[in-house]
Amino acid sequence: MVIVVGKKGIKLPFVGKDKFADLMKAGLGYDRVTRTFYIQSLDYADRLKATLSEIFKDDIVFAQICLICGKVFPCNECEFFNDCKSNDYPSYCICKSCIEKPKLFNLYADKSKKFIGYR
Amino acid sequence: MSSSYSTAVMWVEKYRPQTLDEVINHEQIVESLKGFLKNPATMPHLLFAGPPGNGKTSVALCLAKELLGSNWRNYTLELNASDERGIQMVRERIKTFARHITGGIGGIPFSLIILDESDQMTAEAQTALRRIMESFSRTSRFILICNYIGKIIEPIQSRCAIFRFSPLKREDVEAYLKRIAKNEGVHVTDTGIEAIVDECNGDLRRAINTLQAASTLSKTVDKKVVLQVVGKAKGEEIREMLKKALKGDFLGSRELMYELMVNYGLSGSDIIRQLHAEVFNLKLPPQAQLELISTIGEYDFRITEGANEDIQLSALIAQIARLSMREGWGKLV
Amino acid sequence: MTTVNSLSQQAVMWVEKYRPQTLDEVIGNEEAKAMLISWLKNWKPGSKPALLYGPPGIGKTTLVHALAKTFSYDLIETNASDIRTAEKILHVAGHAAFEDSLLQHFLGFKGTIILFDEVDGIHGREDAGGLEAIIKIITQAKVPIILTANDVSDPKFRELKNQCLSIQFFRVRPPLIMALLERICEMENVKYEKEALKILAKVSGGDVRSAINDLQAIYERSGKITIEDVKVLSPRDREITIQKALEELFLSDDIERVKRILNEVNVDYEIFLQAIHDNLPYQYKNLEDLASAYDKLSMADIFLGRMKRTQNWSLLKYVIEEMSMGVNLSRKGKYTPIGFKFPPSKLILMARTKLTREVLDKISSLIGKQCHVSRQRAIRDFIPFLRVIFENNPAEAKKFASWFNFTEDLSSYLSGKSRGFIKK
């Protein structure tokens, strides 16, 4: 399993011009400074996943980052996996241990404030 | 029997062979494997195929011990395909394991990865498994264990040395049970042994567990005690489920299905397998049994293809109910 | 929006009462929120407008309101169901768009944001150049402009997208919805079971609005939110209710209608599949029809399985065809409509039996480790025999419990003292 952390710092093996174009079309962006890829858009998330899968010759799972504790985890560990309409694209979420914490909403609101740059 | 397991409470573990020489049956296989012990570098990936409970895991563990020495546990990874949620988990576990192990050091030729129930993996997962095997073959060897070799994709078969474990002979199972009984001070009658062997379908593990359970019920294990154990172990639910379906009580049957899946933790495939066995316990004409088996067989396939086991099983119940209604089997059960 | 405090508690809708007022109260879409805030903070004349797009019910409009309030912006809003023609838009938004709002600056307001809500609701002819007018305004405006839309994949929106900073929104994930429902329960002093809230979160399909409405509907019917209470949700005012959808799917003679059912009902197709499976035997009482319909449902599920394993989403149409048309066409008999159960029993069952399943899981894991078998095999080949021992010989059972490291609850399960069986 290759975990691709959403957003930045994705290192890919050398890809030819065609594959590069495919990747750009599928929503990847390239940062010339760090020489890594990042996910620009998830409009074509499935295509992106399939293209990356071909490149890595491997299965791709996108990483989720727990907003509360910062843990990185894949979607399929979550009890809501089958019912989540937004599953398996790289994003922020709540990991299975944090879900059981009391006053979850307040925890979330606190962390969210910092994250989004609210005051 | 060696003493290292003598504190084990479960007899299946207490009497598991500890060396290749202790393995009964499978003499040819043991001979071939001993050849690898002389020159481990020549050992390819291995594929053990055969019915459940006839020694495949034991042989794999013995091989691990004799190849890897007293610290074999540190260099062996045991996995079950059904325990891991998908091939990605399997790969992760192997990667984590391989990261800490370097084969080829200190007399250890390679690390061993024993993957049981390989035939329960889908073809796609097996394709990914093949890639995994390739990427780790420098430092590890895989021992794949399966029941149905036909379910293993060809690219994997061609990369393994295949060992077919034939079903255990009745006499061997009986002798094994008698030896355990003697050691444990259990008095078991001939009819008792016979009953156990009849019920276990060549699965030595089940046979030993049956014997052990029976021994806790009564000092003397005879046919009656064995049937008691088997009856309790199997439970009436499967038979009831089938009966209700045959009588056209779809909802009643489906409710039992959920009870089995939820309270007893049985998988859809388990239930189908047991339904298959139950068909022959009911007093139905052979033609009826044949049609039922055929329908059950079709859904055995569907369940591996589908996403929801409860939907597939319910569909099966509906087909059985309809068949039975058309043919009038309901009155016979 | 303020709460209406002249009405009784009963009449206040929770979706209104708990509408997020500040940005941190809007759940989900963290990155989108961050982008939007950053856009507004750095906004100056000449900046691109922001286009927020994504499914309905997830809080885009609410977010913009909260944003304006938080950063002290005045908000002018025009909506798809509202003013549509070019002139009207210019008229409403024009003044603010083209004039500096000195007075507003004076009064402490940073300025005005113009919100074009649901721009993809604009249709060609009646809205006489509505889209063009919008593009004209947003390229000339001197104030921040935000647009929202559900689906901008249509090529006609390409020009609009080019002119905007596009920010994608996704359906809110169940854990967050559950957290929100929990908070509402706490603030309303409602007794609840966490597992019940999880079911509501699962069934919501990422639509925050409907999740809160479901919660309130159940509270009003039962006074509390337990797993039992969640069993039957009253019909909700969506485009078409689930009751109606199931009824049409099972009983309609109009096959074209049946084909489109899933597009019109706001339910996730996998949940709908479970709902059909759940209710089928109650509706098609004839075994012939039941078996035929189930054969189709089985096919739908097979396509679903293949689709998920191979990630080949083009198979979805077969899933939907089999579960809708396939089931419907299996009907040969005449039936009267029944009241349908929703959410699907399976979700309820899973919630109720979570403890049992965890116990089984633990037991089979411990057995697996000691005896070199998988959990499945432990369940099949060990647990039935251990149950015999634990039920009949507690003295012996102790030895096994000790060797396997069973805790008290696990031994209880095996001896039958606590099994939490589903009632017959």
Find the CB nearest A109 among C24, C170, C201.
Answer: C24
Q: Read off the amino acid at residue C222.
A: S
Kindly state the average pLDDT of the residues C217-245.
74
| Exposure of C76 in the CB half-sphere (CA atoms within 13 A) | 17
- Residue C403: CB atoms within 10 A of its CB come to 15
- Sequence-distant (6+) residues with CB within 8 A of C352 are C195, C227, C420, C422
Neighboring chain A residues of C168 at a CB cutoff of 8 Å: 41-43
Whether residue B235 lies within 8 A of chain C, CB to CB, comes out as yes
CA dihedral for B77, B82, B87, B88, sign (positive or negative): negative
Cis peptide before C343 (omega within 30 of 0): yes
CB-CB contact of C119 with C148 (8 Å): yes
Neighboring chain A residues of C315 at a CB cutoff of 8 Å: none
Whether residue C306 lies within 8 A of chain B, CB to CB, comes out as yes
Contact across the interface for B82 and C375, Cβ inside 8 Å: yes
Kindly state the average pLDDT of the residues A66-88.
81
Give the residue extent of every domain in chain C: 29-168, 174-230, 242-344, 353-423
DSSP C2: -
Does position C233 have pLDDT exceeding 90, yes or no?
Answer: no
Neighboring chain C residues of B319 at a CB cutoff of 8 Å: 291, 294-295
- The gap from C-alpha B19 to its chain's centroid, in whole angstroms, comes to 21
Least confident of A51-55, B48-52, B186-190, C129-133: C129-133
First vs last C-alpha separation in chain C: 49
CA–CA distance, C196 with A39 (Å, rounded to integer): 36
Give the distance from residue B131's alpha carbon to the nearest chain A alpha carbon, in angstroms: 9
Q: Which two structure tokens, joined as six digits, stand for C248?
A: 């049409």
| ipTM value > 0.90 | no
* pLDDT category of residue C270 using cuts at 50, 70 and 90: confident
CA distances to C198, C340, C361 from C352, in Å: 12, 21, 16
Contact across the interface for A1 and B88, Cβ inside 8 Å: yes
Give the distance from residue A90's alpha carbon to the nearest chain C alpha carbon, in angstroms: 11
Does position C184 have pLDDT exceeding 90, yes or no?
Answer: yes
Does position C4 have pLDDT exceeding 70, yes or no?
Answer: no
Q: Identify the CA nearest to C341 among candidates C381, C402, C395, C283.
A: C283
Question: Mutate which of A7, A42, A60, A83 to test chain C, going by most C C-beta atoms within 10 A?
Answer: A83
Question: Closest residue of B to C289, CA-based?
Answer: B322
Contact across the interface for C30 and A115, Cβ inside 8 Å: yes
- Residue B41: its pLDDT value, please? 83
Report strand pairing: C145-149 vs C50-53: parallel
- Residue B210: its pLDDT value, please? 95
Based on the number of CB atoms within 10 Å of its own CB, is C396 exposed (0-12), middle (13-18) or buried (19 or more)? Answer: middle
Find the CB nearest B262 among C306, C356, C392.
Answer: C356
Report strand pairing: A28-31 vs A36-39: antiparallel
Kindly state the average pLDDT of the residues C62-66.
91
Contact across the interface for B86 and A76, Cβ inside 8 Å: yes
Portion of chain C with pLDDT greater than 90, in percent = 36
Residue with tokens 């797993």: C227
pLDDT digits 0-9 by tens, B246-269: 999 999 999 999 988 887 888 898
Q: Which of residues 355-414 of C touch B (CB under 8 A)?
A: 356-357, 360-361, 364, 368, 370-377, 379-389, 391-393, 396, 399-400, 402-404
Give the distance from residue B21's alpha carbon to the nearest chain A alpha carbon, in angstroms: 40
Q: Which two structure tokens, joined as six digits, stand for B193?
A: 């042994």
Whether residue A69 lies within 8 A of chain C, CB to CB, comes out as no
Does position C301 have pLDDT exceeding 80, yes or no?
Answer: yes
- Sequence-distant (6+) residues with CB within 8 A of C6 are none
Kindly state the average pLDDT of the residues A18-42.
83
Angle, to 10 degrees, between the axis of helix A17-25 and the axis of helix A45-56?
Answer: 150
- Residue C377: CB atoms within 10 A of its CB come to 25
Whether residue A57 lies within 8 A of chain B, CB to CB, comes out as yes
Kindly state the average pLDDT of the residues C348-363.
85
Whether residue C310 lies within 8 A of chain B, CB to CB, comes out as yes
Kindly state the average pLDDT of the residues A100-110.
91
Give the distance from residue C271's alpha carbon to the nearest chain A alpha carbon, in angstroms: 8
Q: Is C48 helix (H, G, I), strand (E, B) or coil?
A: coil
What DSSP element (H or E) covers C194?
A: helix C194-203
Question: Closest residue of B to A58, CA-based?
Answer: B128
B202 torsion bin: left (phi>0), alpha (psi -120 to 50), beta (else): left
Residue with tokens 């000691």: C370
Question: Mutate which of C311, C373, C379, C400 to test chain B, going by most B C-beta atoms within 10 A?
Answer: C373
pTM of model > 0.80: no
What DSSP element (H or E) covers B270?
A: helix B268-279
- Residue C95: its pLDDT value, please? 54
Question: Mutate which of C35, C39, C173 to test chain A, going by most A C-beta atoms within 10 A?
Answer: C173
Contact across the interface for B86 and A57, Cβ inside 8 Å: no
Size of interface B-C (CB pairs under 8 A): 174
Q: Identify the CA nearest to C194 among candidates A76, A96, A99, B262.
A: A99
* pLDDT category of residue C394 using cuts at 50, 70 and 90: very high
CA–CA distance, A15 with A37 (Å, rounded to integer): 12
Q: Is B85 helix (H, G, I), strand (E, B) or coil?
A: coil
- Furthest CA-CA distance within chain B: 71
Q: b/e string for B10-41 if b means 16 or more Cβ within 10 A?
A: bbbebbbbbebeebbbbeebbeebeebeeeee
- Residue C274: its pLDDT value, please? 92
CB-CB contact of C170 with C157 (8 Å): no
pLDDT digits 0-9 by tens, C85-127: 444 555 555 555 445 545 444 445 567 788 887 777 654 444 4
C189 torsion bin: left (phi>0), alpha (psi -120 to 50), beta (else): left
Neighboring chain A residues of C194 at a CB cutoff of 8 Å: 100
CB-CB contact of B227 with B314 (8 Å): no
Give the distance from residue B314's alpha carbon to the nearest chain A alpha carbon, in angstroms: 20
Based on the number of CB atoms within 10 Å of its own CB, is A114 exposed (0-12), middle (13-18) or buried (19 or more)? Answer: exposed
CB-CB contact of A12 with A26 (8 Å): no
What pLDDT tens digit does each residue of chain B (333 aa) get? 333 456 789 999 999 999 999 998 888 999 999 988 888 888 899 999 999 999 999 999 999 999 888 888 888 999 998 888 777 788 888 888 877 776 556 667 888 999 999 998 877 788 888 888 888 888 889 999 999 898 899 889 989 999 999 999 999 999 999 999 999 999 999 999 999 999 888 899 999 999 999 999 998 999 999 988 988 777 788 999 999 999 999 999 999 999 888 878 888 988 998 899 889 888 899 999 999 999 999 999 999 889 999 999 999 999 999 999 999 998 888
CB-CB contact of C152 with C53 (8 Å): yes
Q: Identify the CA nearest to C404 among candidates C423, C385, C422, C421.
A: C385
- Residue B145: its pLDDT value, please? 96
Kindly state the average pLDDT of the residues C6-24.
72
- Sequence-distant (6+) residues with CB within 8 A of B236 are none
CA distances to A65, B73, C281 from C331, in Å: 48, 60, 12
Does position C82 have pLDDT exceeding 80, yes or no?
Answer: no
Neighboring chain A residues of C23 at a CB cutoff of 8 Å: 113, 116, 118
- The gap from C-alpha C289 to its chain's centroid, in whole angstroms, comes to 32
Find the CB nearest B131 among A57, A61, A74.
Answer: A57
**Rg for chain A, CA atoms, rounded:** 16
- Residue C337: its pLDDT value, please? 85
Q: Is A46 helix (H, G, I), strand (E, B) or coil?
A: helix
Neighboring chain C residues of B146 at a CB cutoff of 8 Å: none
Contact across the interface for C172 and A115, Cβ inside 8 Å: no
CB-CB contact of B294 with B246 (8 Å): no
Find the CB nearest A94 among C175, C206, C311.
Answer: C175
Whether residue B92 lies within 8 A of chain A, CB to CB, comes out as yes
- Residue C81: its pLDDT value, please? 43
Neighboring chain A residues of B91 at a CB cutoff of 8 Å: 1
pLDDT averaged over chain A?
A: 81
Does position C241 have pLDDT exceeding 60, yes or no?
Answer: yes
CA–CA distance, A29 with C20 (Å, rounded to integer): 34
Q: Which two structure tokens, joined as six digits, stand for A22?
A: 């495919």
Contact across the interface for C203 and A91, Cβ inside 8 Å: no
pLDDT averaged over chain C?
A: 81
DSSP B188: E
- Residue B44: CB atoms within 10 A of its CB come to 12
Fold of C174-230: Helicase, Ruva Protein; domain 3 (1.10.8)
Q: Which two structure tokens, joined as six digits, stand for B269?
A: 């495939």
Neighboring chain C residues of B258 at a CB cutoff of 8 Å: 349, 422
Question: Mutate which of B201, B311, B327 to test chain C, going by most C C-beta atoms within 10 A?
Answer: B311
Contact across the interface for C297 and B311, Cβ inside 8 Å: yes
- Residue B102: its pLDDT value, please? 63
User: Which chains reach chain C with 3 or more Cβ–Cβ distances below 8 angstroms?
Assistant: A, B
* Cα C374–Cα C375–Cα C377 angle in degrees, nearest 5: 65
Does position C297 have pLDDT exceeding 90, yes or no?
Answer: yes
CA–CA distance, B237 with B278 (Å, rounded to integer): 11
Instruction: Write down the CATH superfamily of domain C29-168.
Output: P-loop containing nucleotide triphosphate hydrolases (3.40.50.300)
Residue with tokens 């309303």: C188
Size of interface A-C (CB pairs under 8 A): 98
Size of interface A-B (CB pairs under 8 A): 15
Q: Read off the amino acid at residue B97.
A: F
Contact across the interface for B229 and C388, Cβ inside 8 Å: yes
Whether residue A86 lies within 8 A of chain C, CB to CB, comes out as yes
Residue with tokens 């088996």: B293
Give the distance from residue B106's alpha carbon to the nearest chain C alpha carbon, in angstroms: 27
Does position C6 have pLDDT exceeding 70, yes or no?
Answer: no
Q: Which of residues 46-65 of B touch C (CB under 8 A)?
A: 52-53, 57, 61
CB-CB contact of C411 with C420 (8 Å): no
| Exposure of B301 in the CB half-sphere (CA atoms within 13 A) | 6
- Residue B10: its pLDDT value, please? 94
DSSP secondary structure string, C222-285?
HSSB-HHHHTSPPP--SSS-HHHHHHHHHH-S-HHHHHHHHHHS-S-HHHHHHHHHHHHHHH--
CA–CA distance, C58 with C15 (Å, rounded to integer): 12
Find the CB nearest A116 among C30, C198, C203.
Answer: C30
